[in-house]
Amino acid sequence: MKLGNKEIFDIAIIGGGIVGAATFYKLQLRNPDLRIVLIEKEDRLAGHQTGHNSGVIHSGLYYTPGSLKAQNCVKGRHELVAFAKEYGVKHDVCGKVVVAKSKEELPFMEKIFNTGLENKIEGIQKITADEVKEIEPFVESVGGIHVPVTGIIDFVGATNKMAAVALAKQAHSKMILGEKVIAINTIAEGKEVVMEHKTVKAKKLIFCAGLQADRMARKDNVELKEKVVGFRGDYYELTDQAKHKVKHLIYPVPNPAFPFLGVHFTRMTNGETECGPNAVFTFKREGYGKTDFSWKDSFDALTYGGTWKLFFGNMKFGINEYRRAFSKRLFLKTLQTMIPSLTMDDIKPGRSGVRALLLGTDGDTRDDFRIEHTEDSIHVLNAPSPAATASLAIGDYVAEMAEKQFNLKTTTIVTE
């Protein structure tokens, strides 16, 4: 069926990362008669946050009990592993250790452990330094937490499979790649999504736009005080001679004063082992190089008061992160706090990713997932880690919201 201006979809989903694909998948399975179109501006799915993250299936260990993050991470983890098994997506539930590097970190570790118990993380155990060594022989610590349900997965493969399964459920549903949304218009039939070379009409819209979430919301006339600010994370990889030093996943006890988990070691499904990421302000939202720059993105972020409040509130951490971004030796020094035997020859530069943070005017990082609706639209405004792990649960959450708020009734596509 040819895409034309007379065609009206029940729902258009803007954004083809794993949250958008999972929403498409869940909506289509729950409502097989719905005509849905998934729109992604890149020529492939999972081109940004999904395809540049650490590939970890998170357990739900860190998140405030009762929060959307905690609820959806645990539920989503179970669903994601089941999905991967059913559809042959490469994954491994290999487990991880969270290690305390000094006695001063033990109270923070205790708090994390208790949070994990409240979130009903299966099988977590506090372990001694000797028991850490039984799992990770090269790690030096004063104790840790063993988390057996953490794993690794090919998130890009999972994203593509979710979209493919959804498309197979409904012949009239479509996927449009390589088309950037430039305007959203209200029309008699609902909404008109204007792209660079195409226009799509849909009765309702769902936005899963990640790094562009705030801009898409404003195009849809949603009043939003916050802005998305991007933070780049750089990774190193272990060289072949050092891969034996990491058996599973190794995380530090996170500093509660810093809004990121800290540098960690991650075995990947492709056989590599990554170390990182750091966290530095990026001058381009979708820029993965250390010198990438966008006037628009920089102006947007640096004229926003919330950005500066975050900077000033985390000045010491920010300076240290920037120093590490440009110094292999300093990056190695951080890694050596967990594995002292690592040398300069054991690590090599790897890839980078950019994390979207919905930043409040007060500099608050809006840590929990945030999903809001209008009469005709749903906006996933904030979906930081563990959103990829939680994607199928988020998809259910959005689908339930759509069914309730949109009073979903499938319609016939007009193809005159």
Report the CATH number that the domain containing residue 187 is assigned in CATH.
3.50.50.60
Q: To the nearest whole percent, how much of the chain has pLDDT over 70? A: 96
Q: Left (φ > 0), alpha (ψ -120 to 50) or beta: where does 9 sit?
A: beta
Q: Left (φ > 0), alpha (ψ -120 to 50) or beta: where does 46 sit?
A: left
Asked if residue 343 is part of any domain, the answer here is yes
What predicted TM-score, i.e. pTM, was given to this entire model? 0.94
Asked if residue 319 is part of any domain, the answer here is yes
Position 2 scores a pLDDT of: 41
Residues 40-48 have a mean pLDDT of: 98
Structural domains of the chain, count? 2
- Residue-range definition of the domain harbouring residue 44: 8-50+156-226+368-405
In angstroms, the CA 193 to CA 344 distance is 51
Q: What is the mean pLDDT of the chain?
A: 94
Q: How many CB atoms lie within 10 A of CB 87?
A: 13
Considering the domain architecture, whether residues 320 and 234 belong to the same structural domain is answered as: yes
Considering the domain architecture, whether residues 283 and 379 belong to the same structural domain is answered as: no
Asked if residue 58 is part of any domain, the answer here is no
Residue 178 is encoded by which pair of tokens? 């390589």
Handedness of CA 364, 17, 79, 231 (dihedral sign): negative
Considering the domain architecture, whether residues 346 and 389 belong to the same structural domain is answered as: no
Considering the domain architecture, whether residues 187 and 231 belong to the same structural domain is answered as: no
Asked if residue 252 is part of any domain, the answer here is no
**What confidence tier does 256 reach under pLDDT thresholds 50, 70, 90?**
confident
Considering the domain architecture, whether residues 383 and 315 belong to the same structural domain is answered as: no
Residues 329-334 have a mean pLDDT of: 94
- pLDDT tops 50 at residue 284: yes
Asked if residue 234 is part of any domain, the answer here is yes
Position 3 scores a pLDDT of: 45
Considering the domain architecture, whether residues 279 and 336 belong to the same structural domain is answered as: yes
Considering the domain architecture, whether residues 298 and 394 belong to the same structural domain is answered as: no
Position 5 scores a pLDDT of: 52
Asked if residue 164 is part of any domain, the answer here is yes
Considering the domain architecture, whether residues 218 and 326 belong to the same structural domain is answered as: no
- pLDDT tops 90 at residue 315: no
- pLDDT tops 80 at residue 414: no
Asked if residue 98 is part of any domain, the answer here is no
Residues 337-365 have a mean pLDDT of: 95
Considering the domain architecture, whether residues 219 and 275 belong to the same structural domain is answered as: no
Position 125 scores a pLDDT of: 98
Closest by alpha carbon to 335, among 279, 251, 227, 269?
Answer: 251
- pLDDT tops 80 at residue 153: yes
- pLDDT tops 60 at residue 416: no
In angstroms, the CA 399 to CA 62 distance is 26
**What confidence tier does 18 reach under pLDDT thresholds 50, 70, 90?**
very high
Give the CA dihedral 149, 97, 230, 394, nearest 10 degrees: 10
Position 325 scores a pLDDT of: 85
Considering the domain architecture, whether residues 310 and 195 belong to the same structural domain is answered as: no
Least confident stretch, 20-24, 151-155, 289-293, 315-319: 315-319
Considering the domain architecture, whether residues 233 and 211 belong to the same structural domain is answered as: no
**What confidence tier does 314 reach under pLDDT thresholds 50, 70, 90?**
confident
In angstroms, the CA 25 to CA 396 distance is 9
**What confidence tier does 332 reach under pLDDT thresholds 50, 70, 90?**
very high
Least confident stretch, 3-7, 87-91, 134-138: 3-7
- pLDDT tops 80 at residue 158: yes
Considering the domain architecture, whether residues 277 and 354 belong to the same structural domain is answered as: yes
**What confidence tier does 415 reach under pLDDT thresholds 50, 70, 90?**
very low
Q: To the nearest whole percent, how much of the chain has pLDDT over 90? A: 88
pLDDT per position as a tens digit, 163-217: 999 999 999 999 999 999 999 999 999 999 999 999 999 999 999 999 999 999 9
**What confidence tier does 279 reach under pLDDT thresholds 50, 70, 90?**
confident
Position 4 scores a pLDDT of: 47
Can you tell me which residue has the tokens 């050596």? 336
**H/E element, 86:** helix 68-87
Asked if residue 88 is part of any domain, the answer here is no
